[in-house]
């Protein structure tokens, strides 16, 4: 049982399970806000997966994917780009990131004058001198020895990252990004940049698969709540239907904890582990909603501000 309907990217005609209709909700658009599509009201479907391993062998065909690692990779990468980093290159393993950064340094390909299209952000890299790449990442929540930065969004200040390329590897987040790339271009979403990613998905108007990082292969509630925030943001525009049960659950979970997100993070497995490492400030940083108007997008090995 549990066979899932799949369709090509684009128009879906299923209107029976609208998120917006799940419960009356302040702030939701009373209208549908859709545009005509094949004589039916336009809508997009959203699938949510708790970990990269949960993607089925025959995944839904979508127009875009979203990777979510609220604590902390996608929050941190959004902040790095917002602070003016030129691009972020994700790798599975520290050694891969080291080699790639070394190669970029040797060829002088890093830190060249801006051609990434991210001009206009407050920390816009702009033109400038060649700057060496930065290495960033964690294992067990702790900065990797020899790396320039860890995985805290609070480290990604304009002073540290403006104009730089950052080679990054994290325990769960970079895996989710790279796995999601098999589905299409990958937007990186967190709570802090939820609205910016919703804008992109709404403009794209195609079905979407949300791949949560999870923690060591297990369901991470803060990621699912992040996925629910995305779905809720689309529902507020009157668009989006759940593609699977976890999408339906995610929006209910977001609505349950909305307004208490920092409190939630103090109860989740991953959040509690970060607390033990003395990173309460990171929890509070990542629990803010819609504060960074940047939608990072991974294509062809690079994450840039879309």
Question: Which positions touch a copy of itself (CB under 8 A)?
Answer: 1-4, 16-17, 50, 54, 56, 71, 140-141, 171-172, 214-221, 224, 242, 244-246, 248-249, 252-253, 256-257, 267-270, 273-274
Residue nearer to a copy of itself on the CB measure, 85 or 190: 190
DSSP 177: H
Nearest-5° Cα angle at 78, 75 to 81: 150
Q: At closest approach, how far in Å is the CB of 43 from a copy of itself?
A: 16
Whichever of 191 and 196 has its CB closer to a copy of itself, that residue is 191
- The minimum distance between CB 170 and a copy of itself, in angstroms, equals 9
Compare residues 69 and 155 and give the one whose CB is closer to a copy of itself.
69
> Residues near 121 by Cβ (< 8 Å), separated by ≥ 6?
81, 82, 84, 294, 305
**Pairing assessment for the beta strands 36-37 and 186-189 based on DSSP bridges:** unpaired
Give least dist CB 297 to a copy of itself, A.
Answer: 25
Cβ at position 103, least distance to a copy of itself in Å:
29
**Smallest separation (angstroms) from a copy of itself to the CB of 166:** 20
CA distance 47 to 143: 33
Dihedral sign computed on CA atoms, order 14, 61, 218, 88? negative
Q: Which is nearer to a copy of itself, 200 or 273 (CB)?
A: 273
Q: Which is nearer to a copy of itself, 196 or 241 (CB)?
A: 241
Q: How far apart are the C-alpha atoms of 6 and 22, rounded to whole Å?
A: 22
Q: Which residues contact 217 (CB under 8 A, 6 or more apart)?
A: 51, 53
């Amino acid at each position: 049982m549990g066979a899932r309907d799949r369709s090509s990217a684009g128009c879906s005609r299923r209107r029976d399970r609208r998120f917006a209709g799940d419960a009356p909700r302040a702030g939701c658009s009373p209208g549908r806000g859709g545009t005509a599509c094949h004589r039916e009201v336009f809508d997009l479907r959203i699938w949510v997966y708790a970990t990269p391993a949960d993607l089925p062998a025959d995944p839904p065909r979508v127009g875009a994917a979203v990777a979510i690692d609220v604590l902390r990779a996608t929050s941190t990468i959004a902040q790095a780009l917002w602070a003016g980093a030129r691009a972020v290159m994700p790798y599975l393993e520290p050694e891969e990131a080291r080699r790639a950064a070394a190669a970029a340094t040797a060829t002088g390909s890093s830190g060249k004058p801006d051609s990434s299209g991210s001009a206009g952000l407050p920390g816009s890299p702009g033109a400038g001198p060649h700057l060496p790449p930065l290495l960033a990442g964690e294992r067990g929540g702790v900065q990797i020895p020899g790396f320039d930065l860890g995985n805290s969004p609070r480290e990604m200040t304009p002073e540290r990252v403006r104009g730089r390329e950052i080679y990054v590897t994290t325990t769960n987040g970079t895996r989710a990004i790279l796995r999601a790339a098999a589905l299409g271009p990958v937007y990186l979403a967190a709570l802090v940049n939820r609205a910016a990613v919703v804008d992109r998905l709404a403009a794209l108007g195609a079905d979407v698969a949300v791949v949560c990082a999870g923690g060591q292969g297990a369901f991470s509630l803060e990621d699912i709540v992040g996925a629910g925030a995305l779905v809720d943001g689309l529902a507020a525009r009157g668009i989006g239907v759940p593609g699977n049960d976890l999408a339906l659950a995610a929006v209910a979970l977001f609505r349950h904890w909305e307004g208490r997100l920092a409190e939630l993070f103090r109860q989740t497995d991953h959040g509690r582990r970060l607390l033990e490492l003395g990173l309460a400030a990171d929890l509070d940083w990542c629990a803010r909603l819609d504060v960074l108007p940047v939608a990072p997008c991974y294509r062809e090995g690079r994450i840039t501000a879309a």
